[in-house]
Amino acid sequence: MEIYIDNRQNKIEIEEEIYEIIEKVAKESLLLEGKTLDYEISLSFVDNEEIKELNKKYRDVDKETDVLSFPIDEDLIVPIPLLGDIIISAEKALEQSENYGHSLFREIAYLTAHSMFHLMGYDHIEEKEKAVMREKEKEVMRILGVFKDCKGE
């Protein structure tokens, strides 16, 4: 598994523990789905301004969001299968972590799990699909021991 992380923002410090949990979450998400680890994923940290622009461009929603997921077409023939791209607003992640009373570490771990399941075809438009997706996200967090009070220590 190859994960390429690009920090395109300078407002929120992204500590080394966060980079490590991203890789663990991506790995456990793939394993939970019975997939091999033979995938390439890119993850970018951006600020609210950039994610708002991307949200407007690709979803026609003119406001910032926490995370966007862009799955890659499975029929694309490449040496290492590309799973897709994850874009996280570091600002929004920090804001949500404060609102929910947990760490930035935990919020980014959760957003990564959430996005990984989007990349693997899950959605949360309908309640039944949402329940399945939420349970998978929670299972990854349980496997890794990332809970509400987790600080990445």
Beta strands in 8-105 (DSSP E): 40-46, 67-71, 82-89
If you write DSSP's letter for every residue of 80-144 in order, what string do you get?
A: S-EEEEEEEEHHHHHHHHHHHTS-HHHHHHHHHHHHHHHHTT---SSHHHHHHHHHHHHHHHHHH
Q: Was 102 annotated as part of a binding site?
A: no
Q: Was 118 annotated as part of a binding site?
A: yes
Binding residue ranges:
114, 118, 124
Residue ranges for the binding site for Zn(2+)?
A: 114, 118, 124
